[in-house]
Amino acid sequence: MSKKNKIKKIDKVKSYSSDSDEMTSMFKILGLVVLALALFYLVFAIATGEISFGKKKTEYKEEIQNEEILLGNIFSRIDSEYYVLIYDFDGTDAIDYENIYNMYINNFKTSKMYLVDLSKKFNSSYVVEDNSLVNVTNVESLKVVNGMLVKVENGNITSHSIGAQEIRKNLFNN
C-alpha cells in the first residue's frame, strides 16, 4: 500500500461531529446521572419510611420518665422532701407495691415519690436479704431490702418502713 492510500483510509475513518451532537451527548449523560440519584433517593426513602404509600404514620408522644431512679442517686434529688419506694419490679409482691404507689399518687400526694427497681444491675450492690442489716444513713453504706419505703428530707433519710403492711400503715395513716 502506498502512502496515499493510507492517508485516504485514515480520512475515511475520521468522523466529524458537530457541537450539537456533543451537547446532546452531555445532556444524556447528565440526565442519566440525575435519574440514577433520584432512583437512589427513592429506594432509600421508601426503605427508611420517609415516603410511605397510603400508610398513616403513628405519632408517639415522647415522655421523660422521672419517677424511677437508681439507689445511688437517692440523696441527690432536688426536692426538699420526698419518698423513695424500693422494690423488685419483677418480684412476686411487685403488684402490692405498685398499688401502694398508685394509691399515694392518686389520693395522698403530699410529697414526690420516686421508685427504685431492685432487679436492675446498678442497684444490686445495695441489696441485703436480712432486715437487721439495713443501713440508710448515707449512700456509701446504703443497704436496703426488697419492699422498703424511705422518706428523705433535705438530703437525709428521716424514716423508713419495711414490708407492704408497714408501708401502708406509715404512709396512709399519718
Do residues 165 and 93 share a domain?
yes
In a domain, 125, yes or no: yes
Say whether both 81 and 113 belong to one domain: yes
Question: In terms of domains, do 83 and 167 share one?
Answer: yes
Instruction: State the CB neighbour count (10 A cutoff) for residue 149.
Output: 25
- Beta strands in 45-168, from DSSP E residues, in sequence order: 68-69, 81-87, 112-117, 148-153, 156-162
Same-domain check for residues 80 and 97: yes
* Residue 49 shares a structural domain with residue 76: no
CA distance 89 to 173: 25
Are 168 and 112 contained in the same domain?
yes
Query: Residue 100 sits in which domain range?
Result: 68-172
Answer whether residue 103 is part of any domain. yes
Q: How many domains does the chain have?
A: 2
Say yes or no: 78 and 157 in one domain: yes
Tell me the per-residue pLDDT of 8-46, one tens digit each, with 9 for 90 and over.
555 555 555 566 778 888 899 999 999 999 998 988 888
Specify the long-range contacts of residues 156-162, CB closer than 8 Å, at least 24 apart: 156/75, 160/134, 160/136, 162/131, 162/134
- Residues 120, 156, single domain; the answer is yes
Decide if 4 is inside a domain: no
**CATH assignment of the domain containing 116:** 3.40.30.10
Cα angle 167, 171, 172 (rounded to 5 degrees) comes to 115
- Whether 9 is in a domain gets the answer no
For residue 80, tell me if it sits in a domain: yes
Cell numbers describing residue 29: 449523560
Same domain, 167 and 84: yes
* Claim to verify: residue 49 and residue 84 sit in the same structural domain: no
CA angle at 104 for the pair 145 and 65, rounded to the nearest 5° = 75
Instruction: Report pLDDT digits (tens) over 42-94.
Output: 888 887 777 777 656 566 666 556 688 888 888 888 888 999 999 998 888 99
Q: Are residues 89 and 131 in the same domain?
A: yes
Any domain includes 137: yes
Residue-averaged pLDDT of the chain: 80
Q: Say what the alpha-carbon torsion angle 137, 139, 143, 147 is, to the nearest 10 degrees.
A: 90
pTM for this predicted structure: 0.61
Residues 55 and 74 in one domain: no
The CA distance from 158 to 164, in Å, is 19
